[in-house]
């Protein structure tokens, strides 16, 4: 009777660990596409816990099988390594290799740039006197001189004067936040007043503009006001901005960052800033969680 009870217990206790392990691997793969920072770690945790439970469950069944065999007559031919154990461990190993092969390159691409840092040089736009106070100018420059013309970008620069004792500038990217098309000032551009400023990263073209109606995207109709806030069209957020610094009286651009909106104007504006986001990606709201991790650029 005791022997039959052991056999029944073993047959009635199939483990759910293989199913949980498969679910964990699936969650990891989904996390690599949807959200590397939240969903992928959850999948890794599920897969690891399921794998541990799977291995421990396999060991317990093996010991129970050995105890049963010790009470049974010795067979002429014994199975040294049960087939079910072999299949379980092979599946476990294969699943681990697949998960590692997919996850490690993506995680490496996302994490390594954090330690290596951004190697691009700051962008010198020239002396601050090239940008008269209270006026907008479109400054065109090479964001990566080594890459050449393919890296040419335009920023909308406005000298806000001084806030306290510090110079204040509003510097917005000209790229629409919908799909990255170049926007244009909704107002006159004074080409007759264009000038070229020589800097350490090449020549910068500065063209004064009067965007009384803000900025517009000719591709899909997005419109932004003079602070970069979206006022119409499919763009999901305001125009991105550049960090800046003043070095020896010269205006120097830093990295780009994204913003959801701007309250106020000029040097007294309150900017709701975020890390740099991809084209078409909202900065706030539940839909922002559905986008994958942005590549480091």
Non-local (6+) Cβ contacts of 27 within 8 A are 39, 40, 42, 43, 46, 47
Q: What is the predicted pLDDT for the residue at 102?
A: 63
Q: What is the mean pLDDT of the chain?
A: 80
Q: What is the predicted pLDDT for the residue at 263?
A: 96
Q: What is the CB neighbour count within 10 angstroms for residue 181?
A: 17
The ranges assigned to domains in the chain are 2-114, 123-290
Q: What is the predicted pLDDT for the residue at 254?
A: 93
| Spans of the chain, pLDDT less than 70 | 1-15, 32-38, 57-88, 92, 95-96, 98-121, 292-297
In CATH, 123-290 is 2.102.10.10:
yes
pLDDT tens per residue, range 2-31 = 455 444 444 444 567 778 878 878 887 777
Question: DSSP E strands: which ranges in 190-240?
Answer: 195-199, 202-209, 215-216, 223-224, 230-232
Q: Under a CB-based contact definition with an 8 Å cutoff, are residues 277 and 260 in contact?
A: no
Strands 202-209 vs 195-199: parallel, antiparallel or unpaired:
antiparallel
Q: Under a CB-based contact definition with an 8 Å cutoff, are residues 37 and 50 in contact?
A: no
């Amino acid at each position: 009777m005791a022997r039959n009870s052991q056999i029944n217990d073993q047959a009635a206790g199939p483990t759910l660990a293989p199913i949980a392990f498969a679910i964990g691997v699936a969650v990891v793969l989904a996390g690599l596409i949807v959200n590397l920072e939240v969903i992928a770690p959850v999948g890794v945790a599920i897969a690891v816990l399921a794998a541990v439970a799977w291995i421990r469950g396999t060991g317990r069944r093996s010991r129970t099988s050995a105890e049963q065999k010790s009470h049974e007559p010795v067979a002429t031919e014994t199975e040294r390594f049960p087939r079910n154990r072999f299949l379980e461990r092979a599946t476990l190993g294969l699943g681990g290799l697949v998960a590692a092969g997919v996850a490690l390159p993506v995680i490496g691409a996302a994490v390594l740039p954090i330690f290596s840092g951004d190697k691009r040089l700051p962008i010198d736009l020239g002396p601050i006197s090239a940008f008269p106070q209270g006026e907008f100018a479109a400054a065109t420059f090479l964001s990566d001189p080594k890459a050449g013309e393919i890296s040419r970008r335009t920023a909308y620069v406005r000298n806000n004067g001084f806030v306290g004792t510090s110079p204040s500038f509003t510097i917005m990217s000209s790229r629409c936040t919908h799909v990255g098309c170049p926007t244009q000032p909704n107002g006159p551009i004074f080409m007759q007043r264009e000038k070229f400023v020589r800097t350490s990263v090449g020549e910068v073209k500065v063209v004064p503009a009067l965007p009384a109606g803000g900025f517009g995207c000719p591709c899909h109709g997005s419109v932004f006001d003079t602070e970069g806030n979206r006022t119409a069209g499919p763009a999901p957020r305001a125009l991105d901005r550049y960090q800046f610094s003043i070095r020896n009286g010269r205006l120097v651009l830093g990295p780009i960052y994204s913003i959801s909106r701007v309250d106020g104007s000029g040097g007294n504006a309150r900017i709701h800033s975020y890390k740099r986001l991809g084209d078409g990606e909202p900065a706030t709201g539940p839909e922002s969680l559905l986008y994958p991790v942005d590549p480091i650029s």
